[in-house]
Amino acid sequence: MQNNRKEHLYKILVIGDLGVGKTSIIKRYVHQTYSTNYRATIGVDFALKVLNWDSETVRLQLWDIAGQERFGNMTRVYYREAMGAFIVFDVTRPTTFEAVSKWKEDLDSKLTLSNGQSIATVLLANKCDQKRDFLTNNSLKMDQYCKENGFVGWFETSARENININEAANFLVKHIIASENDILKSVVPDTISPQLNSDKEMTCSYWLSLD
Amino acid sequence: MHNADIPPDVLRQREAKWLDMLNSWDKWMAKKHKKVKLRCQKGIPPSLRGRAWLYLSGGKVKKEQNQGKFQELDSQPGDPKWLDVIEKDLHRQFPFHEMFVARGGHGQQDLFRVLKAYTLHRPEEGYCQAQAPIAAVLLMHMPAEDAFWGLVQICEKYLPGYYSAGLEAIQLDGEILFALLKRVSPVAHRHLKKYKIDPILYMTEWFMCAFSRTLPWVSVLRMWDMFFCEGVKIIFRVGLVLLKCMLGSQEKLKACQGQYETMELLRSIEPRYMQEAFLVQEVSQHTLYTVQYVVSSSKHSLCLPLLVTFGKCMP
């Protein structure tokens, strides 16, 4: 390991209905591979990705969480101390998109940052290499959906074709770092930071950078 | 391939002994259960394993008491809510096993039939993803109808509540495992506690799948031989052996200071601890532990005395 490199360690959740491709996304991102032969995840699985981030090192612990509703009782333990999340759905199956808001609510109700905010969450419309016939065709609507539901952004991804996965991860990391800075700022007494709306401005600028 | 180390004449002898047992099963179970247990520990001959599992589990009796039941369930369409989930899982069980490799092949079709039949048999339970590997292992050893009754026995008699909505039974057993670990390996217990590693982070797949996705295949079969004879305590003991071997000394713990590091370590268990001879030895050696475990929930508190025998010899 290099000297004096600042290290960040972030726990990132990957959640969403079963069979949407959570494991495939993680394997693609971490191991640069794709297979149609992954086993269904029972409980939780893990992987580690190390990024060089400017002059710093970012270590991402990716938590691959079983998609079946039945495991919902265990998510409180899985979510603990996470800093960011991907919620994944399958563009070929509308029901998996309908479940997205359930996952988001579950996440927000069980986990908040120390400043009370929910953790940075990115929506992934996976399997975009396949035929799709709803919503994600309309990116304005998706933007709107993300705003209304508290996602920092969304990406069309394909684990099979390796589309947008690195981009989505970088985007999430950027947000996590920003929200960390926010928390640091909020520790400083009010008199020093007079801009009360800084949160909102921050969000806006990221929204712009999405396009 | 599973019994490469057993000379053919020994294997033939064992087969003869097992055939004899299977032919007068009730007598053996009533009068010579210790002997049956010992033979299960030695390993059931592969050619008779499926039959022996069905007898040991009581699945055979259930099947006879419910003649035609499986066929009846098999002929019903099933609840689309469950079928949808089951279909998504068919190609995700032992994907490299010849039986399940072909999409829509016989193995996957039978798996579908067995899992669907269970959702019709217990509509209030439905389907839990962890049932699929269990059913798949059974199907590698017996026809669909037998596998169905084997699954019924595992879900209802061996691991009751493990697959039910809420998954409370598995979480409870996680806490019991942790309480037992305190007696078996205080070092490992302290370490897991220090890093706030909740049992469900490492034992969910172990227990729900009865180690079928964790251990090398030969060891899976040997553990299941014992599991069908002795029940859930075998699962506990395997879990305790693995935890103790991996986290049981300060030296080993040096390399995994942290929650994630520890979980990584438990996911990549050293092969020597999973090797069948080692595991059978550890799991079948007896030191008696009784753990009185008090569980309090919002509604009531249960007192569960649990008797677990556990191997003493450790590296």
Tell me the pLDDT tens digit for each residue of B284-314: 875 545 554 444 443 333 334 444 444 443 3
- Is A200 a member of any domain? no
pLDDT of residue A133: 61
Average pLDDT for chain B:
90
Residue matched to tokens 């090398």: B216
pLDDT of residue B286: 56
Closest Cα in chain A, distance from residue B128 (Å): 7
Minimum Cα–Cα distance from A70: chain B residue:
B165
* Contact check, Cβ <8 Å, B93/A73: no
- Is A85 a member of any domain? yes
pLDDT of residue B95: 80
- Is A2 a member of any domain? no
- Is A105 a member of any domain? yes
Minimum Cα–Cα distance from B208: chain A residue:
A42
Measured between CB atoms, does A19 come within 8 Å of chain B?
yes
**CATH number of the domain bearing residue A182:** 3.40.50.300
pLDDT of residue B292: 47
* Contact check, Cβ <8 Å, B129/A43: no
Measured between CB atoms, does A63 come within 8 Å of chain B?
no
Measured between CB atoms, does A131 come within 8 Å of chain B?
no
Strand partners, A44: A65
- From the list A18, A37, A74, which residue is nearest B167 (CB)? A74
Mean pLDDT on B78-95: 92
Q: How many distinct structural domains can be found in chain A?
A: 1
Q: What percent of chain B has pLDDT over 90?
A: 81
Measured between CB atoms, does A112 come within 8 Å of chain B?
no
* Contact check, Cβ <8 Å, B129/A66: yes
- Is A30 a member of any domain? yes
- Is A70 a member of any domain? yes
B226-265 confidence digits (pLDDT tens): 999 999 999 999 999 999 999 999 999 998 889 999 999 9
B148-175 confidence digits (pLDDT tens): 999 999 999 999 999 999 999 999 999 9
| In the predicted structure, residue B137 carries a pLDDT above the cut 60 | yes
Domains of chain B and CATH, by start: 3-47 (no CATH), 66-158 (1.10.8.270), 168-308 (1.10.472.80)
pLDDT of residue A116: 87
Q: Which domain holds residue A176?
A: 7-187
- Is A1 a member of any domain? no
Q: What percent of chain B has pLDDT over 70?
A: 89
- Is A34 a member of any domain? yes
Task: Supply the pTM of this predicted model.
Answer: 0.89
| In the predicted structure, residue B114 carries a pLDDT above the cut 70 | yes
Strand partners, A158: A163
B184-211 confidence digits (pLDDT tens): 999 999 999 999 999 999 999 999 999 9
Residues of chain A with pLDDT under 70: 1-4, 132-137, 186-211
Q: What is the ipTM of this complex?
A: 0.88
pLDDT of residue B71: 98
- From the list A18, A37, A46, which residue is nearest B85 (CB)? A18
Closest Cα in chain A, distance from residue B14 (Å): 35
